[in-house]
Amino acid sequence: MLNKPNEESIPPKYEGIIKDGAQNVTEQDVEKVISRSEEIQRKFSAKGPLARFIEDGKLLIAIVKDYWSGSYRKVPYGVIASSVFTLLYVFNPFDLMPDMLPLIGQLDDVAVMGACLILIEQDLHKYKDWNLEEKS
């Protein structure tokens, strides 16, 4: 099951950040997520605010990889672009609040990750179900 924050509402600031960022995702951005997926995944360590998103981070990376390889195309490109933007945002140490600021620097990463999960939740559930069927 996805670890998602409170579904009640997405702060408009973060919804806007994700939607605007997703519109600017390029092919090079997708390739960067794929090629640096291990480094990105390390940002979701067992310590710190992103720890609750470890499995969700893996899922976002997996859907991007499967989409890009052509093995899973039952999802709008906007979902992939939002996933790519979010993963690059978490990976970038110089976002709205630089990650060099202990704890505070990762709080915006948590907010962006949570907002993304809410926005693409249904598509992630469909992907997760597909992925489980493929492995069985």
Tell whether the model's pLDDT for residue 106 goes beyond 80: no
Mean pLDDT for the chain overall: 84
Q: Quickly state the pLDDT bin for 16 (edges 50, 70, 90).
A: confident
Q: What pLDDT digit, counting tens, does each position of 29-69 carry?
A: 999 999 999 999 888 876 777 788 989 999 999 999 999 99
pTM of the model as a whole:
0.83
The tokens describing 131, both together, are: 């992925």
Per the listing, tokens 């915006």 go with: 108
CA distance 34 to 64: 7
Residue 86's nearest CA partner among 52, 62, 109 is 109
Residue 80's nearest CA partner among 63, 59, 56 is 63
Q: What pLDDT digit, counting tens, does each position of 110-131 carry?
A: 888 999 999 999 999 999 999 9
Give the domain ranges of the chain.
12-129
pLDDT at 1: 41
pLDDT at 6: 45
